[in-house]
């Protein structure tokens, strides 16, 4: 019984194990942003299409359609409390290139006329930052 309990607990936390991406090839900067998204564990808190995160942070689907500019997203990632003093998201000290790539990835999460597909954390990290998602 102890063994079954421990094996069940070991697989009980599904958050952050996969990321929903558009079912299309990602551009180079979007792929770099996906790499940053996974390395920084953004998927642990932020769902995409309602999947993958603990729903502590907002769903990142369709941010471009919601009017979020790259500057808005970069500011919210770099210093979330500057956007909302009630934010519990930590500050991320990323370089300009990583911030821009992450903003491009998030803005590319447009599912208005394309389906999403899950990509595992291990798959993203195993690909490296110079390959495509397809």
Residue 131: pLDDT over 70: no
Of 38, 108, 47, give the one whose Cα is nearest residue 73. Answer: 108
pLDDT tens string 74-125: 999 999 999 888 999 999 999 999 999 999 999 999 999 999 999 999 999 8
Residue 20 φ/ψ, nearest 5 degrees:
-85, 130
Distance between CA atoms of residues 97 and 123, nearest Å: 22
pLDDT for 5 equals 56
pLDDT tens string 17-69: 889 999 999 999 999 999 999 999 998 899 999 887 777 889 999 999 999 99
Residue 4: pLDDT over 60: no
């Amino acid at each position: 019984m102890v063994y079954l309990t421990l094996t069940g607990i070991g697989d009980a936390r599904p958050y952050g194990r996969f990321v929903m991406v558009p079912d299309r090839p990602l551009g180079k900067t979007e792929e770099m942003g996906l790499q940053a998204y996974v390395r920084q564990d953004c998927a642990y808190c932020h769902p995409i299409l309602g999947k993958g995160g603990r729903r502590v942070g907002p769903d990142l689907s369709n941010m471009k359609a919601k009017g979020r500019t790259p500057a808005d997203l970069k500011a919210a990632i770099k210093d979330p409390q500057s956007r909302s003093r009630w934010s519990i998201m930590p500050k991320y000290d990323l370089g300009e290139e990583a911030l821009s790539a992450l903003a491009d990835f998030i803005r590319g999460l447009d599912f208005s006329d394309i389906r999403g597909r899950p990509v595992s954390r291990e798959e993203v990290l195993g690909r490296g930052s110079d390959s495509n998602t397809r």
